Amino acid sequence: MRGHNFLALDFGAESGRAILGTLKDGRLIVREIARFPNTPVERQGHYHWDIPHLFGEVTKALEAHAAEKLDGTESLGVDTWGVDFALLDSEGELLELPYCYRDSRTDGMMQEFFKRVPRERIYQLTGVQFLQINTLYQLFSMAQQKSPQLKKAGHLLFMPDIFNYLLTGEKKTEFTIATTSQLYNPLKNNWDEEILAALGMSMDIMQEIVPPGTRLGKIRESIGEQTGLKELTVIAPATHDTGSAIAAVPAEGAEWTYISSGTWSLMGVEVGKPVITDKAREYNFTNEGGVDGTFRLLKNIMGLWLMQGCRNAWGRYDYEELTRLARDAKPFKSLICPDSGDFFSPPDMPEAICAFCHDHGEPVPASMGEIVRCVLESLALQYRVVLNQLREIQPRDIQTVHIVGGGCQNKLLCQLTADATGLPVIAGPVEAAAIGNLMVQAIAGGHVKSLAEAREIVRRSFEPAQYEPHNDADWDAAFERFNHLREDSAQ
């Protein structure tokens, strides 16, 4: 039986990759075609995503794929991180490079916007968590600064929309990426007019929202000529990378929670409809779109950004070396609150971690191993907090933790998560976003019947690692200490 080939372009905040997926005999085989760094560029004191460079890497990846002369590739799908966007003029030309969500322009913008629309009303309309990085507050910062680009804008495209537009000429926004923006109303299944009006924006700037699996069209003729892939069809998978990653969770039944682990840790459950309640708002949970009519009730946790920041500061060490140092360090010496604003974009992450410990009465870690151990144990304790909150705001029992994405390779963090939550952890697949992207393309092509079947294929195709919890009373004591720290840092 001939296999079916699909190509996923998966962009993260650190790197991009082109992954070939071949579906054959009920299994998915994946192979990396290309990988390239994704580094924000500085322009006049602000950080932007370098779209021309990234799209140049896309065309190189397509050329490399075409050079392999495989027996046909049916489609291509793009997924990226959420919230960030570009503005185009009425002729479809990019007005400026998209801002990076860690840019400081959104500092204080949430509180200012709450003067226009109260926090409670925003959540009632959107069901989205409050983060200063959300598209809503990025746009509000532009409105406050009377941005000329905002005045000239004819179209708003989110990050995956930009690549799809450059590939096909079609301007659409896929459902899962729309729901990250805090501009989308899940009860109306459309952009929210009240929110946009409060921004002083027209609905006309927004694009039609299409479901995962939508065929956007053939690749542009010029790109087809350049790359040798003239007949390639572009499909919108779950274009938000977390939406694609959760589609690849190899779970059965319903009694599980997921952690999509990378720069951010996205922890939640899959639900059939949004959970928009006072308690969900109090705990700052978000309702993001998923595949097959689902929603992802989840919380953003700062994630391995903290470890990335340490590695960048220390230079010559790789993640495996740092994890080994952490494994040998004394348990529970120091704890931090991973979601503290102190860690959002500090100039020196290890320094920020030590300063937080000093300011909040925690022993200051004295070595690299102690700092990394502090990060990983604190993340695991934060997962326990979110697990307890999930159990409170929705009725489903949770018996297993699935960790997918690059962070599932960190064996120490996986074991600490099992220990902290008291639940077995199933880790993998690593390239979950790309795999989910590929499986949605396979569903769109009629080769896979449902999301449940797609997950069954993932289970057959990728062997997970499993971690059993150690019933250690030290974790209960650490959790009590962690909760006191959270209360102290919130004051």
Separation CA 332–CA 375 (nearest Å): 10
Residue 439 placed within a domain: no
Q: Is residue 205 located within the same domain as residue 346?
A: no
**Which residues partner with 260 through β-bridges?**
266, 404
How confident is the prediction for the chain on average, in pLDDT?
96
Residue 20 placed within a domain: yes
Q: Is residue 178 located within the same domain as residue 254?
A: no
Model confidence at 163: pLDDT above 90: yes
The identity of residue 379, as a single letter, is: L
- Give me the residue label for tokens 């192979």: 31
Q: Is residue 225 located within the same domain as residue 336?
A: no
Give pLDDT tens digits for 320-357.
999 999 999 999 999 999 999 999 999 999 999 999 99
Residue 438 placed within a domain: no
pLDDT score for 72: 86
Residue 296 placed within a domain: yes
* Domain stop point among 216, 241, 266: 241
Which uninterrupted H or E stretch holds 484?
helix 473-490
Separation CA 213–CA 32 (nearest Å): 22
Separation CA 242–CA 462 (nearest Å): 19
Neighbouring residues of 194: CB distance < 8 A, sequence distance ≥ 6: 117, 125
Among 81, 27, 74, which residue's Cα sits nearest to residue 54? 81
Residue 436 placed within a domain: no
Q: Is residue 123 located within the same domain as residue 164?
A: yes
Residue 190: band (very low, low, confident or very high) from pLDDT cuts 50, 70, 90: very high
* End-to-end Cα separation, the chain, in angstroms: 63
Which pair of tokens denotes residue 307?
Answer: 């470890």
Contact 28, 461 (CB under 8 A): yes
pLDDT score for 489: 86
Backbone angles phi, psi at 278, to 5 degrees: -60, -40
Q: Is residue 460 located within the same domain as residue 379?
A: yes
Give 99's DSSP letter: B
Report DSSP letters for 228-266, one per residue. Answer: S-TTPEEEE---BHHHHHHHT----SS-EEEEEESSSEE
147: alpha, beta or left? (left if phi > 0; alpha if psi -120 to 50):
beta
Residue 441 placed within a domain: no
* Domain stop point among 241, 269, 293: 241
- Give me the residue label for tokens 């953003």: 300
Return the half-sphere exposure (C-beta side, CA atoms, 13 A cut-off) of residue 313: 19
Q: How many CB atoms neighbour CB 264 within 10 A?
A: 21
- What does each C-alpha distance from 24 to 191, 242, 325, 344 come to in angstroms? 39, 25, 42, 43
Residue 467 placed within a domain: yes
Q: Is residue 22 located within the same domain as residue 152?
A: yes
Contact 268, 390 (CB under 8 A): yes
Before 429, cis peptide (omega within 30)?
A: yes
Model confidence at 471: pLDDT above 90: no
CA 183 to chain centre: 18
What does the pLDDT average to over 385-389? 98
Q: Is residue 272 located within the same domain as residue 316?
A: yes
Q: Is residue 274 located within the same domain as residue 416?
A: yes
- What does each C-alpha distance from 172 to 165, 196, 214, 317 come to in angstroms? 8, 18, 10, 42
Q: Is residue 366 located within the same domain as residue 302?
A: yes
Neighbouring residues of 108: CB distance < 8 A, sequence distance ≥ 6: none
Q: Is residue 312 located within the same domain as residue 254?
A: yes
SS3 85: strand
- What CATH number has the domain bearing residue 356? 3.30.420.40
Model confidence at 413: pLDDT above 70: yes
Model confidence at 1: pLDDT above 50: no
Separation CA 277–CA 49 (nearest Å): 35
SS3 275: coil
Residue 443 placed within a domain: no
Q: Is residue 76 located within the same domain as residue 153?
A: yes
Which pair of tokens denotes residue 274?
Answer: 């949004």
CA angle 287, 290, 293 (to 5 degrees): 100
Which uninterrupted H or E stretch holds 8?
strand 4-11
Separation CA 249–CA 260 (nearest Å): 9
Contact 94, 51 (CB under 8 A): yes
Separation CA 8–CA 80 (nearest Å): 11
* Domain stop point among 241, 269, 291: 241
The sheet carrying 4-11 orders its strands as 27-37, 15-24, 4-11, 75-79, 233-236, 214-218
Separation CA 22–CA 7 (nearest Å): 9
Q: Which residues have a catalytic role annotated?
A: 241
- Give me the residue label for tokens 């370098």: 50
Separation CA 315–CA 309 (nearest Å): 10
Calculated CA dihedral for residues 260, 266, 272, 277, nearest 10 degrees: 170
Number of domains in the chain: 2
**Which residues partner with 269 through β-bridges?**
297
Separation CA 149–CA 142 (nearest Å): 9
Contact 181, 218 (CB under 8 A): no
What does the pLDDT average to over 261-271? 96
Give pLDDT tens digits for 36-87.
999 999 999 999 999 999 999 999 999 999 998 887 899 999 999 999 999 9
The residue segments making up the domain with residue 165 are 4-241
Q: Is residue 270 located within the same domain as residue 202?
A: no
Contact 249, 404 (CB under 8 A): yes
3-class SS shares of the chain: helix, strand, coil, % to 5 = 40, 20, 35
